[in-house]
Structure 1
Amino acid sequence: MNEEPDPDAVAAALLAGFSTLVRRVRQTPVESGLTMPQRTALGRLARLGPTTASALAREVQITAQAMGATLGVLRERGFVERSPDPDDGRRMLLSATDAGLQALRDKRSERVELLSRVLASDAFTPAELAQLAAVAPLVERLAERI
């Protein structure tokens, strides 16, 4: 007789597995040189589009001062640019530059290559790779609903 999976047990197993995966991927050095706060800020700008520094700080739940320091470095590197807010000329909007978007793509590519090397090794059978491929859209949908 097939029992329905226990949502609590599935949630605990997924959280444990994904937490370990994310932690290990983040700990692996990559060449782009973006720190975690820089990557977070740049990634949010890429997804959200132009926004203010204070709105970005609220979005990622850090202080405006910490966000200001992060954005300052990103601006110096040419990854973020400022422009006047068309609705309120007193405010400045920040947006990711083409160089910033490329830095994000490069970092993602390095991390994808890392995972791909492990998946292509003899650590996983073809059937297991198929299972991972099938679950990926489900994980995405789970993340979107949180």
Structure 2
Amino acid sequence: MGVDQNPAAVGELFETVTVLMMRHVPAPDGLSLTAAATLGSLQRRGPRRITELATAQGVTQPSMTQLLRRLEDAGLVGRVPDPTDGRVVLIELTEAGDRTLRNRWSTRLARLDTLLATLSDEERAVLERAAEAALPVAQKLVHTLAARD
């Protein structure tokens, strides 16, 4: 049965991978998922307006403002003037924020590597082939959805 006939299989795969990464391979930095996603967005896309960040994360502007205040107090983001409109402030990732994201990723990869070591060679090969096939498609979905925001 193809994906078009059984979208629940794709949903279950995504749910299982999410649970695995969020619950069983957590990052030790104490960042919430929204905080980490916001920092990641700034890392990938550069400085953004608060309203853009709030929309991208699906939170209200006041909630994003509070989150950014905490991230700024932690030295992970900073405020800079918009070069095209001096009345607007943009949020940018600081060097400390970039380091935090890089450390988060390397820590999670090390934990995942330990977990994958519990699998047989054949099981690891199956996951590797599946990841190589599925990643470009999953990234396309993410980019499609991001373009709509």
TM-score for the superposition, normalised by structure 1: 0.86
Q: Does 1:87 align with 2:88?
A: no
Corresponding residue to 2:73 among 62, 70, 76 = 76
Q: Does 1:102 align with 2:62?
A: no
DSSP-derived class of the 2:59 partner: coil
Q: Does 1:16 align with 2:9?
A: no
Q: 1:135 to 1:110 in 2, by over 3 A?
A: same
Q: Distance in 2 between matches of 1:141 and 1:30?
A: 24
Q: 1:70 offset after TM fit, Å?
A: 0.6
1:89-123 deviation digits (Å, cap 9, x = unpaired): 000111111110111112222222222111112xx
Q: Does 1:135 align with 2:98?
A: no
TM-score for the superposition, normalised by structure 2: 0.84
Q: Is the 8 A contact 2:77 2:97 kept in 1?
A: yes
Q: 1:81 offset after TM fit, Å?
A: 0.9
Q: Structure 2 unaligned runs (5+)?
A: 142-149
More deviation, 104-113/57-66: 104-113
Aligned length, in residue pairs: 140
DSSP-derived class of the 2:87 partner: strand
Q: Distance in 1 between matches of 2:97 and 2:15?
A: 27
Q: 1:30 to 1:71 in 2, by over 3 A?
A: same
DSSP-derived class of the 1:19 partner: helix
Q: Distance in 1 between matches of 2:3 and 2:32?
A: 35
- TM alignment of 1:106-125, pairs within 5 A: 106-121=103-118, 124-125=119-120
Q: Is the 8 A contact 2:3 2:10 kept in 1?
A: no
Q: Structure 1 unaligned runs (5+)?
A: none
DSSP-derived class of the 1:145 partner: helix
1:13-56 deviation digits (Å, cap 9, x = unpaired): 23213312312421345321212221111111111111111111
Q: 1:132 offset after TM fit, Å?
A: 1.3
Larger radius of gyration: 1
DSSP-derived class of the 1:134 partner: helix
Q: Does 1:7 align with 2:27?
A: no
What is the root-mean-square deviation in Å for CA atoms of aligned residues?
1.7
